[in-house]
A and B are shown apart, each in its own frame.
Chain A
Amino acid sequence: MTVELNMPKSWRQETKPHKFCPGCGHGLVLKGLGQAIDELGIQDKVVFGCDIGCSLLSWDFFNCDSVQTHHGRTGPVITGIKRARPDRIGIAYMGDGGGYAIGAQHLVNAAMRNERITVIVVNNVNYGMTGGQMAPTTLPGMKTETSPYGRDIETTGYPMQGPEMVAAIVREGAYVARGSMANVRQLKTFIKRALENQIAGNGFSFVEILSSCPTNWSMNAKDTWNFVEQEMPKFFKVGELKVPTKKEE
């Protein structure tokens, strides 16, 4: 068994190396999350919920209490836990399909209610686990298994702007940001702030991370990186969209 260098303390060593595809962004996002958990010293308080889809592979990723749910329903499960046990730190981890398609109503309403949970959506602009179908986030003209001639925005709409939507509906106290696997330091910072915001009890915390799917994009490492760094930010602007004004420092 190879042990990854700098493996976060909160990672579960027995389940490493992990099973994400080479070049997939999930590993980087979960590393950033693991580091944030370590730095905040909250490993024993975290309840990590993962969705169906590729995010499912993270069900035994951490030495944190974890629950694998149904597609799109991770937000509600974590909400239910947090409501009953406010001393827990609830993390709902999902892909863009779970967050923006099948679970969209849950995302919207959790944001509206300012649930004190942290939602992380890993956006790789397609459904990875099921073989690369079009997602709400698929870029215009992009070819997928269900848009073999390229995504037609006339009939299938424009890529979903998750953080922008959430930022537009949340109240003061919420934290909304979009990071990218192309900038892991910033990614970790955003996730950490999102968790701090939950710990402070300020409000809903939401982070989208631009990620990759080399397997279904059928791209080599260079093209994959180029796509994440150059193409995706044309539609998905990286940065913090909503930060509580009253910071508890």
Chain B
Amino acid sequence: MNRALDLLHRSDVQKPITLVDLDTVEPVYTLRPLRKELTVLGLDVVAWETSETMGLGEAGSVIRPDMRWVLKRPGSIVLDIGYGVKGSKTLNIIEGAGEDPELMILLVLNLGRPLTGTYEDMLEYARELGPVHGLINNSHLGEDTSLSFIQEGALVVSKVGKVLHIPVVATAAEERFRGELGLSDGLGHPVRYLKRFMPHAFW
């Protein structure tokens, strides 16, 4: 969401900007309730409307035809495909995903998640996935995030990137760290500042 909104305001990026909710892994965290809000901000949002999802509730992993064909759209497209092996395989459903040279697959890593909580775990996790073009350090602990935790995450993600020969594209951090972090995370990666939407995004 933040990336899509960011792109919206950049002159060097093709418009329109389309944001696609393809998270079938854990759809409890979903764009559905934010769809209207994001549309008002100028994004084209491809997601279910909650009122259309009879019985899907928190677990419904059903995709829409317009999701399957979304890469045929003009402009720039941001796909949220969930996480893990299942997330990476979601691209198989998207028409043209396999042969699109412009499709960048970015792996978002968080040292705060137990599954990627150590260097070893993070490396193993990244190795299991299909092709990845870049890494993003998104290490955080929600409300309890500290500057040092973000930086520790940046360090571990960098190590993983070196071993796998994948560049680290950025570090993501909450807006409140802008004063302390500035433009770089200390290891030379640019920082992308985030507004947290998810606290009120429950399906």
Chain A residues, CB < 8 A from B89: 218
Selected interface stretch from A16-24, A32-40, A99-107:
A16-24
| Inter-chain CB contacts under 8 Å: number | 68
**Are A216 and B65 in contact, CB atoms less than 8 angstroms apart?**
no
Chain A residues, CB < 8 A from B76: none
| Alpha-carbon distance A180/B92, docked complex (angstroms) | 23
Which B positions have Cβ atoms within 8 angstroms of A?
24-25, 27, 52-56, 59-65, 67-68, 85-86, 89-90, 92-95, 97-98
**Are A21 and B62 in contact, CB atoms less than 8 angstroms apart?**
yes
Most-contacted residue by chain A among B65, B90, B93, B94 (CB, 10 A): B93
| Alpha-carbon distance A145/B61, docked complex (angstroms) | 13
| Alpha-carbon distance A131/B44, docked complex (angstroms) | 26
Q: List 11 A-B contacts (CB under 8 A).
A: A56-B55, A129-B59, A130-B61, A131-B27, A131-B59, A132-B24, A216-B61, A218-B92, A218-B93, A219-B92, A220-B95
Query: What does the 1/0 interface line of A206-231 toward B look like (CB < 8 Å)?
Result: 00000000111011110100000000
A128 at the B interface (CB under 8 A): yes
Chain B residues, CB < 8 A from A54: 62
**Are A130 and B59 in contact, CB atoms less than 8 angstroms apart?**
yes
Given contacts A215-B24, A215-B93, A216-B24, 19 further A-B contacts (CB under 8 A): A19-B53, A21-B62, A22-B64, A22-B67, A22-B68, A52-B55, A57-B54, A57-B62, A59-B54, A129-B56, A129-B59, A129-B60, A129-B61, A129-B62, A131-B59, A148-B85, A214-B93, A218-B90, A219-B93
**Are B60 and A22 in contact, CB atoms less than 8 angstroms apart?**
no
**Are A20 and B62 in contact, CB atoms less than 8 angstroms apart?**
yes
| Contact status of A220 and B92, CB under 8 A, knowing A57-B54, A59-B54 | yes
**Are A145 and B55 in contact, CB atoms less than 8 angstroms apart?**
no
The answer, among B53, B59, B98, for a CB contact under 8 Å with A220, is B98
Chain A residues, CB < 8 A from B63: 21-22, 215
**Are A131 and B54 in contact, CB atoms less than 8 angstroms apart?**
no
**Are A19 and B59 in contact, CB atoms less than 8 angstroms apart?**
no
Query: What does the 1/0 interface line of A6-43 toward B look like (CB < 8 Å)?
Result: 00000000000101111100000000000000000000
